[in-house]
Amino acid sequence: MSRIEDRFVTMRERRRKGLIPFVTAGDPNPQVTVPLMHALVSAGADILELGVPFSDPMADGPVIQRSSERALAQNTTLSTVLDLVREFRKDDSVTPVVLMGYVSPFETMGYDIFAKTAAEVGVDGVIAVDLPPEEAEEFRPLLRANEIDLIFLLAPTSDAGRIAQACSVASGFIYFVSLKGVTGASHLDVRPVAEKVAEIKNATELPVSVGFGIHDSEMAEKVAAISDAIVVGSSLVHKMEQLADRPDEIPAAISSVIKSMRHAIDGDDRTIIGLMR
């Protein structure tokens, strides 16, 4: 059983909804990333989503685009990201880590080399935003051979055929993009999200995580109620941008946001932070 699968099984047994924070590796500098990852886990994160900086992050809004620019300015490469995961694993062998990015860096390193190195350092899953299922036939078996989940995105516009296709080849969980647009949007209507999540869950036994448009504790609580987990990114990255010239303050500031969201999601039946660590 993979770390991702094990984590979702444990959450289901404890009736806990997953909280998955996204941060861009190397933003505002690589020295911040590992302490921040540990702080997020201590604050109540269940899975960590680590962005691989890329020069043309087409699915991301301005906030995350700028985070990639800051990381790239610090010479953060895919190799750097893998080294950061290796460093994180020295003190945390249980929290699942998912790399989220675009296919070009993985392809440039070489799918086989990446898959073997990622498994060696402790990566559990990969989201390649611009890699649809029908173009993943080379990458997917290499990841699977190294026990790494390839996680696919579904959108509000995904029809039944597309949902079935993605669910048939995905592993780990399904990432549902809750709205039409890019990361950082704030006009999320939970009702159609709930309907689409239900449609996806009818097509798969995989957990369904929802991301995009979750910008505060109130929205986190609403979306967690209709999904297995939520992904929070732009609101965290925005706060990191505000503190870019004071990087030592970032872990505490971002973990405070996650603690607030964890409290909102758990409500009166709060799960003790750190219970699964």
- The catalytic site residues sit at 49, 60
CB atoms closer than 10 angstroms to residue 274: 10
**Using CA atoms, how far apart are residues 234 and 214, in angstroms rounded to an integer?**
8
**Using CA atoms, how far apart are residues 98 and 81, in angstroms rounded to an integer?**
11
Strands 149-150 and 153-154: unpaired
Show the 3-state SS of 113-161.
HHHHHHHHHCCCEEEECCCCHHHCCCHHHHHHHCCCEECCEECCCCCHH
**Using CA atoms, how far apart are residues 129 and 258, in angstroms rounded to an integer?**
24
Taking only Cα atoms into account, the Rg of the chain, rounded to an integer number of angstroms, comes to 17
